[in-house]
Structure 1
Amino acid sequence: MMNRLVAVLAAATALEPVARRTLLKGVPAAAALATPALAADNALQKTSCFEVIPDSSLALKPKLTPIKPDKCIGGLKAAKALYLGEHHNSLRDHLLQADILRALRRSEPRRPMAVGLEAIQRRFQPVLDDYLRGAIGLEQLEQQTEWSTRWTWPFANYVPVFEAARLNNFELLALNADSEDLGVVEMGGLAGLPNATLAKYIPDRRVFADFTNTTAFREYIAYVVAPSYRSHKEMGILRQTISGQQLKEDMPFKNFYSGRMLWDNSMANTGAVWTRKNPSGLLVSVIGADHVKFGGGVPNRYAYAAGLDLDKVRTVILNPSAVDTAGPQLETLRADAPVPLTLQIRFAAAAGDGGIPVINGD
């Protein structure tokens, strides 16, 4: 069974079709919406929540249904892992994440819970531990994780998440691959990493190979990762690795893809290790929406690594617009054409059909 996607929205207008011109102007998905109040204690109650019910039949007719915030939390806590897909620069997303953490803790005061952070690279796990035990404050946390060079999105926007985790007895997990290792992969592919280093991120190569050899994964790559690569290429930002090495020509797709796989595997396997140590626990990961949508990035990979059925994983896209769910069709739509909301991409093969479906709900 495919895991359900719960879309948590701050405004119903986020579901309306968006003209491609808006994307081309570089406006972030949440930028055109109202700036939130700084207080986030009741952010969830002021939010419209919708649940996507996928359809595994040949009809491919997923449904989008509204649910109340309390029921939403009930569904989320039934999982072993929850992925909150964010827009990194959106304070509203981070305020909502913080309120979801508080609601989860209120619902289960004694359950082991952890917050996994894409923003923090693995080497800085001791810094997160120091913050949780009160040895350092937020200023030292920002400095000692080298936030300004390794993540760069506004640290202040993430403060509500850090504080909600600390005050509500969550562990904090550094999920992301170290820039030094990712830079090597972007230069020369996965083969460029020493075996011992690669094993930190991909501990079982057979599991890795099995996961990538599925229709669902190939559809995800074609629908999400390949368009992202072409977008990066158009913007002229493929001449430098994440760690700053200059390239003589654009990074080839193979290395871009390999870097993405290292990134996603790092987040998935770090979470899976925590789950195995805490079998009754709930892992809540705050990561970018592209790594969450349609499950093909981190969530399904986590389930595979942790040995869990997909119904033990929940995925959430925070404050989405139709652009968030769009794929290759953005490259062919007229600038003023509406972008349809896509609820599901194919996760099983259809005989004689090699295309990428764009599936809209009711």
Structure 2
Amino acid sequence: MPAVTTTRALVPASSRGRGAFFVLPLLAVLLALSACARPAPTGQPMPVSFLPAPGEFLTDAGDPLPPEALRRRAATAAYVLVGESHGNACDHEAEARILAILAHAETPPAVGLEMAPAAQNPVLAEFSRGAFPPEELERRLDWKTNWGHPFAKYLPVFRAIRDWRLPAFGLNVPPGVIRRLSAAAMQNATTDATGADPVAALSPEDRAHLPARIIEPAPEQLAFLREVMGSHPRQAKAGQGAVDPRQEARFLLIQSVWDSAMAEQAVRARRTTGRPVVVLAGTAHVEGGLGIARRIRVLDPGAEVLLISPWRGDEFAKADADVRVYCPESFESRMGMTLESRPLVLAGQGGQDFEVLVGAVRRGSPAEAAGLRPGDVVLRAGGHRMRSLAVLHLAGSDAYREKKNLVFVIRRGEDCYSVDLGRLGQQGSRPAPSGGAQPAQPGGR
């Protein structure tokens, strides 16, 4: 334990005999054991009945769900909505696994993709037939323009589509049309107090890409979207936290167009192919059934919708989804490190605690040069205790604003070290010249 090492270092030199060396650690151990002798609480709820590995499925009650059980669970669903965080590699690997599992069903599914406009369906049709390899999709779909998130993370999904010859369909509206609709919404709000329809300001060509019916949010989703809107610093008035009504109206319109378009295209894919449709989209469009699912139920009444969403190890909310996939939150830094957040306590209402691990370090990167290694546990970032990956943003902002180096305190085995990652936002910035992880000072935890 790091505490034992620290205790020994604080013993006065005159007392560092054999007896002093053993007595203080022994007292620390005895105190720790006595503190652990309390009976475990029995009244706390148990949200999950096992500690899942990344990629494992859970029921909405928090119990294991084997692949065959997932296939049976999805057998009656017309639509299977799978949520993702676009930058989380585990989410995309889980999506690929879900497609492989459902490809063995009596009627394999079609796949609807938020990350591709419906205008790209001819390209996806060729790809599904095996006309070209997955690696060519980035260019053919104009991925950087139409989506922008790292294409490599989506390769497992596209390989599963190709391997199982699943029909694939783009679901969303081209980003250029969304930008022009957004601008029209703001222009109308600025110049026309009567609230003219911004859709009417678009060209006929642009309007052809919009859903035939723009379904407004349910009250529950409206509250959620307003909360998201209000938490965005660029959308709130300085010092007030109040949302500009024009910005809010534009935001709600774009979200409604996005969800309505994806639902409309998913329903069209089901009717075109006669297959169930697996929709891959961001978690905000899936969880709780308020986004795409609600619009599907309007457009295809009576159709069964199954919701699958990632679970990060936080509070387990049964209402979010019918099936959960455990995928830890992760962050891939340009410094060459990948950090993962793992739950330490799964006690539900008792309050979660997490540890942040270094999952990978790219060879030759600044992170490697600074001494960071896979398996390190990040205890502190700057002046903040590393309770979650969100702390990294706070620590980085502090270091950038104060023109200081970003320093981690990490635990490696029984030892603690400091890791100097250098300045942020400066080209050519290097870790401290001494290089490597340095022993942390007492109290560094």
Q: Same fold (TM over 0.5)?
A: yes
Q: Do the aligned partners of residues 121 and 237 (structure 1) sit closer, same or farther apart at CA in structure 2, a change above 3 Å counting?
A: farther
Query: Once the 2 structures are TM-superposed, how far is the Cα of residue 303 of structure 1 from its aligned partner?
Result: 2.2
The aligned length equals 254
Aligned 8 A contact 2:134 2:162 in 1: no
Letter in 2 for 1:317: S
Task: Provide the C-alpha distance between the structure 2 equivalents of 1:193 and 1:126, rounded to a whole number of angstroms.
Answer: 25
3-state SS of the aligned residue for 1:75? Answer: helix
2:270 to 263, 272, 275: 275
> Are 1:126 and 2:118 an aligned pair?
no
Task: Provide the C-alpha distance between the structure 2 equivalents of 1:237 and 1:134, rounded to a whole number of angstroms.
Answer: 44
Query: Once the 2 structures are TM-superposed, how far is the Cα of residue 134 of structure 1 from its aligned partner?
Result: 3.1
Query: Once the 2 structures are TM-superposed, how far is the Cα of residue 255 of structure 1 from its aligned partner?
Result: 0.6
Alignment of 1:332-351 (within 5 A): 340-344=315-319
Letter in 2 for 1:202: P
Which whole-Å deviations, capped at 9, do the CAs of 1:133-154 have from their partners, x for residues lacking one?
3333333310121212321111
1:166 to 154, 162, 167: 162
- Corresponding residue number in structure 2 for 1:230: 230
3-state SS of the aligned residue for 2:74? Answer: helix
Task: Provide the C-alpha distance between the structure 2 equivalents of 1:299 and 1:313, rounded to a whole number of angstroms.
Answer: 7
3-state SS of the aligned residue for 2:212? Answer: coil
Moved more, 312-321 or 254-263: 312-321
- Corresponding residue number in structure 2 for 1:102: 100
Moved more, 136-145 or 72-81: 136-145
Task: Provide the C-alpha distance between the structure 2 equivalents of 1:201 and 1:268, rounded to a whole number of angstroms.
Answer: 12
Query: Once the 2 structures are TM-superposed, how far is the Cα of residue 198 of structure 1 from its aligned partner?
Result: 3.8
Aligned 8 A contact 1:116 1:271 in 2: yes
Which whole-Å deviations, capped at 9, do the CAs of 1:243-287 have from their partners, x for residues lacking one?
xxxxxx9971111111111111111100011122344x2100111
Aligned 8 A contact 1:272 1:303 in 2: no
Query: Which structure 2 segments of 5+ residues have no match?
Result: 1-47, 186-197, 237-243, 321-347, 351-445
Q: Do the aligned partners of residues 307 and 277 (structure 1) sit closer, same or farther apart at CA in structure 2, a change above 3 Å counting?
A: farther
> Are 1:292 and 2:289 an aligned pair?
no
2:210 to 193, 201, 205: 201
2:250 to 247, 255, 259: 255
Which whole-Å deviations, capped at 9, do the CAs of 1:155-212 have from their partners, x for residues lacking one?
111111111111112101011111121112211234333567446433246xx36xx4
Larger Rg: 2
Task: Provide the C-alpha distance between the structure 2 equivalents of 1:228 and 1:186, rounded to a whole number of angstroms.
Answer: 18
Query: Once the 2 structures are TM-superposed, how far is the Cα of residue 118 of structure 1 from its aligned partner?
Result: 0.7
Q: Do the aligned partners of residues 132 and 276 (structure 1) sit closer, same or farther apart at CA in structure 2, a change above 3 Å counting?
A: closer
- Identity over aligned pairs, percent: 25
Q: Do the aligned partners of residues 308 and 198 (structure 1) sit closer, same or farther apart at CA in structure 2, a change above 3 Å counting?
A: farther
Aligned 8 A contact 2:213 2:260 in 1: no
- Corresponding residue number in structure 2 for 1:316: 308
Query: Once the 2 structures are TM-superposed, how far is the Cα of residue 81 of structure 1 from its aligned partner?
Result: 0.5
> Are 1:146 and 2:142 an aligned pair?
yes
Query: Once the 2 structures are TM-superposed, how far is the Cα of residue 100 of structure 1 from its aligned partner?
Result: 1.1
Alignment of 1:177-196 (within 5 A): 177-189=173-185, 190-191=198-199, 192-194=201-203
Task: Provide the C-alpha distance between the structure 2 equivalents of 1:138 and 1:237, rounded to a whole number of angstroms.
Answer: 38
Letter in 2 for 1:288: G
Task: Provide the C-alpha distance between the structure 2 equivalents of 1:149 and 1:194, rounded to a whole number of angstroms.
Answer: 21
3-state SS of the aligned residue for 1:201? Answer: coil
Letter in 2 for 1:313: V
1:264 to 259, 273, 277: 259
Letter in 2 for 1:252: Q
Task: Provide the C-alpha distance between the structure 2 equivalents of 1:299 and 1:148, rounded to a whole number of angstroms.
Answer: 28
TM-score, length basis structure 2: 0.52
TM-score, length basis structure 1: 0.63
Q: Which has the higher contact order (CA 8 A, sep 6+)?
A: 1
Root mean square deviation of aligned Cα: 3.0
- Corresponding residue number in structure 2 for 1:29: none
Query: Once the 2 structures are TM-superposed, how far is the Cα of residue 299 of structure 1 from its aligned partner?
Result: 1.3
Aligned 8 A contact 1:94 1:160 in 2: yes
Aligned 8 A contact 1:114 1:282 in 2: yes
3-state SS of the aligned residue for 2:281? Answer: strand
Task: Provide the C-alpha distance between the structure 1 equivalents of 2:209 and 2:142, rounded to a whole number of angstroms.
Answer: 21
Q: Do the aligned partners of residues 260 and 204 (structure 1) sit closer, same or farther apart at CA in structure 2, a change above 3 Å counting?
A: closer
Moved more, 66-75 or 169-178: 66-75
- Corresponding residue number in structure 2 for 1:19: none
Aligned 8 A contact 1:80 1:282 in 2: yes
Aligned 8 A contact 1:275 1:306 in 2: no
Query: Which structure 1 segments of 5+ residues have no match?
Result: 1-8, 14-33, 37-42, 52-63, 239-248, 323-339, 346-359
